[in-house]
């Protein structure tokens, strides 16, 4: 069975406070995009004593046993009987890029195991299991635009349609440690909600929709800020770093004529 876990971008990301449990409260709109990994599993025709995971494509920088896909299986086996599997994960979504690739892989693994083995886990319970794997994992169970609040696990539906706009995602090839990013952010409550801000035309978003992680990320890796400036230079209506970084995206009215030196950083582009 094969599925294609998709990425997301953050349209705005605001850190609103530090929680007693050590996490931070956020407000962010998660928007699904069509940049995808590929995830496949088969039941081995030979006896095996553990799951076998092969990872190809982009280097994850970690051992297979540390991959969220295998951790997902371990989590399921706490409650259900699932045989050992042979799994192939082809990574296209960069790791540590603010695009949610690992979380999407985990959520898709939950869904396909549930479907294939007829575990009959309902959608609410799937999201509860996904939350145990990561704060943004539940988003990928449905994969529709949502406002994420709390530590990223409280979702509110949003009426945000960007169909017809053209999206370009750039990745500078540098990583941002999420824990370090949170440590260097400055929480603050805003008077206007993101739900109100996205009601403005996309052409006005750059005036008031921000990512609170950008200040730290741009100081640490100036190339991120340079890429964002280049997107605006080539007529982006709105550009922002996604998540805690390091990817930057631009929303355009039509496909931009980007120069070769900028296209070097493009990891996905297409109509939304």
8 flagged as catalytic = yes
Q: Which residues have C-beta within 8 Å of that of residue 229, sequence separation ≥ 6? A: none
27 flagged as catalytic = no
Active-site residue, selected from the candidate residues 8, 91, 111, 228: 8
Rounded distance, CA 222 to CA 229, Å? 11
Q: Which residues have C-beta within 8 Å of that of residue 205, sequence separation ≥ 6? A: 11, 197, 198, 237, 238
Active-site residue, selected from the candidate residues 27, 37, 51, 136: 136
Element (H, E) at 183: helix 178-183
Q: For 23-52, give one letter per residue: b (16+ CB within 10 A) or e.
A: ebbbbbbbbbbebbbbbbbeeeeeeeeebb
DSSP-derived letter for residue 205 is: G
Q: Which residues have C-beta within 8 Å of that of residue 46, sequence separation ≥ 6? A: none
- Beta-strand pair 248-252/24-36: unpaired
DSSP-derived letter for residue 64 is: G
Residues with catalytic annotation?
8, 136
């Amino acid at each position: 069975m094969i599925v294609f876990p998709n990425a997301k971008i953050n349209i705005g990301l605001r850190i609103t406070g530090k929680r007693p449990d050590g996490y931070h409260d956020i407000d962010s709109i998660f928007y699904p995009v069509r940049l995808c990994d590929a995830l496949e599993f088969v039941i081995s025709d030979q006896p095996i004593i553990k799951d076998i995971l092969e990872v190809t494509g982009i280097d994850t920088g970690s051992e297979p046993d540390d991959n969220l896909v295998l951790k997902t299986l371990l989590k399921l086996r706490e409650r259900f009987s699932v045989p050992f599997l042979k799994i192939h994960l082809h990574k296209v979504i960069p790791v540590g890029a603010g695009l949610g690739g690992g979380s999407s892989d985990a959520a898709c693994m939950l869904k396909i195991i549930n479907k294939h083995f007829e575990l009959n886990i309902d959608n609410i319970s799937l999201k509860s299991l996904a939350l145990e794997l990561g704060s943004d994992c539940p988003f990928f169970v449905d994969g529709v635009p949502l406002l994420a609040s709390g530590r990223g696990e409280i979702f509110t539906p949003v009426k945000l349609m960007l169909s017809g706009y053209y999206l370009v995602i750039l990745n500078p090839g540098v990583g941002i440690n999420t824990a370090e990013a949170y440590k260097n952010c400055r929480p603050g409550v805003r008077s206007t909600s993101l739900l109100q801000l996205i009601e403005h035309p996309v052409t006005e978003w750059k005036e008031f929709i921000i990512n609170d992680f950008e200040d730290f990320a741009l100081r640490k890796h100036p190339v991120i800020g340079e890429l964002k400036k280049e997107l605006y230079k080539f007529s982006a209506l709105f550009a922002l770093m996604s998540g805690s970084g390091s990817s930057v995206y631009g929303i355009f009215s039509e496909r931009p004529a980007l120069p070769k030196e900028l296209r070097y950083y493009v990891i996905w582009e297409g109509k939304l």
